[in-house]
Amino acid sequence: MAVVKVYDQAKKEVGELTLAPEIFEVEVKPEILNLVVRAQRAKFRSGTHATKTKGLVSGGGAKPWRQKGTGRARAGSNRSPLWPGGGTIFGPQPRSYEFKVNKKVRKLALKMALSSRMLESSLTVVDRIKLEAVKTKDFALVAKTLGLTKALIVLPEDDSVLSLSARNIPGIKVLRQDLLNVYDVLRYPQLVLFQDAARAVEERLK
């Protein structure tokens, strides 16, 4: 059973939280994390690359010369891939890179990602972070107090004041708990969970 300390934004201990071992103490398998991250990144590839084939380049209406009697090789179009300015053979065409990963595997990978942060002791649970107004300077002070350099902060629900205050600080990302994903957890070495967000994540991954 994983028991972690809960801190306030001044990094004072305000209690303890017991985390579900079936979510935060799962054996980490790199191949599953790799599969899910690749699927997630592939989904966002635009896939809009394209080259013009013989049928797409301009020109090529008339046969360049008669079939026989010239001593030259046969040619049917000046847009042939063999000619300068001709079409491309087997060039890239627009496509989707997306591939399916089962929901159970995605859920397992997220558990593994959270468990890896727990194993590395880089998971911090805070009661909340309350800012009076949108001010980067105020959040920077809180981040320094909590020792955050490159961190993912997971909120139970939207907090525009906190999100706007943090968005200009390099290496910090604020995310709502229902948008938590494997790529972001692995991308940021530090994971900060609000206490309510931790409970919501547990409910989501049961």
- Residues 183-201 have pLDDT tens digits of 999 999 999 999 999 999 9
Q: What confidence score (pLDDT) does residue 154 get?
A: 97
Domains held by the chain: number: 2
Please check whether residues 176 and 189 belong to one and the same domain: yes
Q: How far is CA 127 from the centre of its chain?
A: 26
Please check whether residues 90 and 149 belong to one and the same domain: no
Please check whether residues 80 and 40 belong to one and the same domain: no
- Residues 77-115 have pLDDT tens digits of 999 999 999 999 999 999 999 999 999 999 999 999 999
Please check whether residues 86 and 177 belong to one and the same domain: no
Please check whether residues 39 and 52 belong to one and the same domain: no
Backbone angles phi, psi at 16, to 5 degrees: -130, 155
Please check whether residues 41 and 142 belong to one and the same domain: yes
What's this model's pTM, rounded to 2 decimal places? 0.84
Q: Which residues of the chain have pLDDT under 70?
A: 1
The pairing of beta strand 13-19 with beta strand 2-7:
antiparallel
Q: What is the domain extent for residue 105?
A: 2-45+98-205
Please check whether residues 28 and 116 belong to one and the same domain: yes
